[in-house]
């Protein structure tokens, strides 16, 4: 029986292979349409300066060598070397899209740092040792060089013990809101685990009073205020200035609930100031809202999942379900243990033991790392997603313990908007609709994510497929990003469009917007996929129906056929299964990952063939 990890690796291979085929074909089609000579296939193409690829131009050793050369030039004291170092810093910031961390001095081995071992032993350290005076001089000189080119430098960490060292955040302010990097974080956890309270404290600045004061400003519906429970997919943003400090309202420490709700900063106010935006997708914790939570995880394309665990209750109820779904979708996980101020030490110790046990279990295979220092938060933010590490923060929203580490970690999380494995600018326009509203004096407005291509206001586009599989023509009247007006958007960004001559009733979640062409994309009703049954209490047979989540698509499907010899599937079985949408055709592509569930039944898979 294949393990989940093996199946996930196979899904990734299928996804990457199909994506490469589609991108190569799209480039050929675009070149034919524009009558240009064909470009090389993606596997052979060299990265271009204006492409949407986030693949580094140099590997880690090259970056380290470049940073070392910059420091050597600055320490020489010559004016010519200073100018050359400034040019290299500019080049470094350009390659890293306006944000990078510069390490000064030697760095401790990550294994010792993450396990909490003493750093007195200098074996395994990397980099070049510096004296305290050299570290101070380099901090001053780097700051001066970056400020000369319009950037900002903030000292993230400085240590004088064992080895003098420092970590600097170098950041260039984005020229406009359209180019501000964004990191999407999905916040999940059981009921009363502290999700909304933690978000309230992070985004509003003021601490909680222990009775839910911090979360009041987040609720959108009357019943949420009355029950204290989130029932919808809420979105909150936290902006960071070029110097790395969070953008918080002036009334952060107000005790008046009406003031908290009324005086919060508007998204547009945050967007125009921010050099980086962290968008929190606040998902419901109650079991009856699981469909909503699942939709937020699959359609929101989060860079990571923040799992909230109440220290007084432990990893219970829907927390395990949310963790299992996150692992199935292969999204990096960060754990926040909340309410540590009110939890007795023995109960806290039991919760920590339980969390560690679950993360190390064969189903998770994560290495838990308790974040207890600034240096750990900095290092983890850069490597945790690729090294199967799971950062664990212990928080108190009443006393503020651990919140600084979380803010620092979030500030340094790399944006995946330019991740070429997810989004590409040189592809045809593909925009997934995740929300739709009717706005007075504006008309129909949709919100979603640009999966590929670029778009500008005034462009003619196609919206669909409708219940008959057809697409209708429309025009993008205006565009907003985080409620701030913009005139263009590129792959990886979450934006809102106001559509011309489109009725609200004609739009549903899961639709796509594509460029206007003579041959619109196919609307699919039946498709084939490789699936693994994660859990089913009996046997799963032909004509079984379940709710399918595939990107922004959420619809009931029926199993019409399966290649299993006995014609039935049990927990752990893998098979090629044919699905059929019950209500209407959808826009899906080969290589798209899917998750289907009904009750406690869960299945994971990937689309391998479109039937009709």
Total domains, the chain: 4
Identify whether residues 185 and 292 lie together within a single domain. Answer: yes
Identify whether residues 219 and 287 lie together within a single domain. Answer: yes
Judged against a pLDDT cut of 60, whether residue 529 lies above it is answered with yes
Identify whether residues 273 and 384 lie together within a single domain. Answer: yes
The angle at the Cα of 566, spanning 562 to 571, to the nearest 5 degrees, equals: 75
List pLDDT tens digits, range 163-215. 899 999 999 999 989 999 999 999 988 888 888 889 888 988 778 766 666 66
Peptide linkage before 465 cis (omega within 30 of 0): yes
Identify whether residues 245 and 167 lie together within a single domain. Answer: no
Structural domain span for residue 575:
4-15+523-610
List pLDDT tens digits, range 552-567. 999 999 999 999 888 8
Task: Tell whether 277 is covered by a domain.
Answer: yes
Task: Tell whether 50 is covered by a domain.
Answer: no
Most confident by average pLDDT, 209-223, 291-305, 420-434: 420-434
Q: How does residue 392 score in pLDDT terms, banded at 50, 70 and 90?
A: very high
Task: Tell whether 455 is covered by a domain.
Answer: yes
Q: What percent of the chain has pLDDT over 90?
A: 55
Task: Tell whether 335 is covered by a domain.
Answer: yes
Pick the closest to residue 497 from 533, 461, 540 (CA basis): 461
Judge contact between 498 and 443, C-beta under 8 A.
yes
- Domain limit, last residue, from 492, 515, 538: 515
Please state, in angstroms and rounded to a whole number, the distance separating the CA atoms of residues 338 and 340.
6
Task: Tell whether 43 is covered by a domain.
Answer: no
Cross-strand partners of 169: 101, 154
Average pLDDT over residues 233-243: 85
Average pLDDT over residues 403-413: 95
Identify whether residues 271 and 194 lie together within a single domain. Answer: yes
Identify whether residues 511 and 587 lie together within a single domain. Answer: no
Pick the closest to residue 483 from 266, 214, 213, 258 (CA basis): 266
Identify whether residues 192 and 340 lie together within a single domain. Answer: yes
- Domain limit, last residue, from 358, 386, 412: 412
Please state, in angstroms and rounded to a whole number, the distance separating the CA atoms of residues 383 and 373.
16
Average pLDDT over residues 74-80: 89
List pLDDT tens digits, range 120-148. 877 888 888 999 999 999 999 999 999 99
Each as own residue / partner, the long-range contacts of residues 53-58 (CB below 8 Å, 24 or more positions apart, any chain) are: 53/418, 53/420, 53/424, 54/97, 54/416, 54/417, 54/418, 54/419, 54/420, 55/420, 56/95, 57/95, 58/95
Task: Tell whether 53 is covered by a domain.
Answer: no
Identify whether residues 397 and 271 lie together within a single domain. Answer: yes
What CATH number does residue 454 fall under? Answer: 2.40.30.10
Q: How does residue 58 score in pLDDT terms, banded at 50, 70 and 90?
A: very low
DSSP secondary-structure letter at 126?
A: B
Sequence-ordered list of residues with C-beta below 8 angstroms from that of 453, at least 6 positions apart, any chain: 424, 425, 426, 427, 428, 429, 430, 490, 491, 515
Pick the closest to residue 404 from 416, 417, 414, 395 (CA basis): 395
Identify whether residues 489 and 451 lie together within a single domain. Answer: yes
Judged against a pLDDT cut of 70, whether residue 289 lies above it is answered with no
- Write down the pLDDT at residue 232: 45
Strands 568-569 and 540-541: antiparallel
Give the three-state DSSP class for 418: coil
Task: Tell whether 39 is covered by a domain.
Answer: no
What CATH number does residue 201 fall under? Answer: 3.40.50.300
Identify whether residues 64 and 122 lie together within a single domain. Answer: yes
Identify whether residues 384 and 439 lie together within a single domain. Answer: no
- Write down the pLDDT at residue 255: 52
Task: Tell whether 213 is covered by a domain.
Answer: yes
Judged against a pLDDT cut of 60, whether residue 223 lies above it is answered with no
Average pLDDT over residues 329-343: 93
- Write down the pLDDT at residue 261: 55
Strands (DSSP E) contained in 160-213 are 165-171, 182-189
- Domain limit, last residue, from 447, 481, 515: 515
Identify whether residues 68 and 211 lie together within a single domain. Answer: no
The first and second tokens of residue 71, run together, are 């420091």
Each as own residue / partner, the long-range contacts of residues 384-390 (CB below 8 Å, 24 or more positions apart, any chain) are: 384/332, 384/334, 385/303, 385/304, 385/332, 389/114, 390/333, 390/334, 390/335, 390/359, 390/364, 390/366
């Amino acid at each position: 029986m294949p393990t989940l990890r093996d199946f996930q690796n196979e899904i990734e291979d299928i996804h990457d292979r199909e994506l490469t085929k589609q991108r190569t074909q799209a480039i050929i089609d675009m070149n034919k349409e524009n009558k240009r000579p064909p470009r090389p296939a993606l596997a052979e193409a060299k990265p271009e300066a204006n492409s949407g690829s986030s693949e580094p131009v140099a590997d880690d050793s090259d970056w380290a060598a470049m940073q070392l050369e910059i420091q050597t030039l600055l320490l020489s004291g010559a004016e010519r070397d200073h100018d050359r170092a400034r040019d290299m810093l500019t080049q470094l910031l350009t390659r890293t899209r306006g944000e990078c961390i510069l390490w000064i001095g030697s760095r401790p081995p990550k294994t010792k740092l993450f396990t909490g071992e003493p750093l007195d032993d200098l074996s395994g350290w990397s980099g070049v040792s510096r004296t305290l005076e050299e570290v101070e001089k380099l901090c001053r000189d780097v700051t001066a060089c970056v400020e000369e080119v319009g950037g900002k430098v903030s000292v993230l960490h400085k240590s004088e013990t064992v080895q003098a060292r420092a970590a600097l955040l170098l950041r260039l302010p984005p020229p406009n809101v359209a180019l501000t990097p964004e990191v999407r974080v999905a916040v999940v956890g059981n009921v009363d685990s502290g999700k909304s309270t933690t978000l309230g404290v992070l985004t509003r600045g003021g601490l909680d009073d222990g009775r839910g004061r911090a979360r009041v400003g987040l609720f959108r519906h009357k019943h949420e205020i009355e029950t204290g429970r989130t029932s919808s997919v809420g979105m909150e943003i936290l902006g960071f200035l070029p110097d790395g400090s969070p953008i918080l309202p002036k009334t952060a420490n107000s005790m008046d609930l009406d003031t908290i709700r009324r005086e919060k900063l508007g998204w547009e106010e945050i967007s125009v100031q921010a050099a980086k935006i962290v968008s929190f997708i606040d998902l419901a914790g109650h079991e009856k809202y699981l469909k909503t939570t699942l939709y937020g995880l699959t359609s929101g394309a989060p860079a990571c999942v923040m799992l909230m665990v109440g220290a007084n209750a432990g990893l219970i109820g829907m927390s395990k379900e949310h963790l299992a779904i996150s692992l199935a979708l292969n999204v990096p996980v960060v754990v926040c243990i909340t309410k540590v101020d009110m939890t007795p030490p023995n109960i806290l110790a039991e919760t920590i033991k339980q969390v560690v046990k679950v993360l190390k279990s064969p189903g998770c295979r994560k290495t838990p790392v308790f974040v207890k220092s600034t240096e750990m938060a900095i290092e983890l933010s850069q490597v945790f997603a690729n090294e199967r590490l799971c950062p664990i923060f212990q928080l108190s929203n009443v006393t503020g313990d651990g919140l600084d580490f979380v803010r620092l970690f979030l500030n340094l999380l790399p944006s995946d908007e330019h991740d070429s494995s997810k989004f590409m600018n040189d592809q045809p326009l593909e925009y997934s609709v995740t929300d739709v509203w009717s706005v007075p004096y504006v008309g129909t407005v949709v919100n979603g994510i640009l999966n590929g291509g670029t778009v500008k206001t005034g462009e003619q586009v196609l919206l669909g497929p409708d219940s008959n599989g057809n697409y209708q023509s429309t025009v993008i009247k205006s565009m907003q990003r985080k409620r701030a007006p913009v005139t263009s958007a590129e792959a990886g960004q979450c934006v809102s469009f106001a559509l011309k001559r489109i009725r609200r009733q004609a739009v549903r979640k899961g639709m796509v917007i594509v460029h206007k062409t003579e041959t619109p994309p196919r609307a699919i009703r039946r498709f084939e996929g490789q699936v693994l049954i994660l859990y089913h209490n009996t046997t799963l047979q032909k004509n079984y129906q379940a709710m399918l989540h595939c990107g922004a698509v959420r619809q009931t499907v029926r199993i019409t056929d399966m290649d299993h010899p006995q014609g039935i599937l049990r927990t752990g079985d893998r098979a090629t299964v044919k699905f059929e949408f019950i209500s209407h055709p959808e826009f899906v592509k080969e290589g798209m990952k899917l998750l289907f569930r009904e009750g406690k039944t869960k299945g994971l898979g990937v689309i391998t063939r479109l039937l009709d």
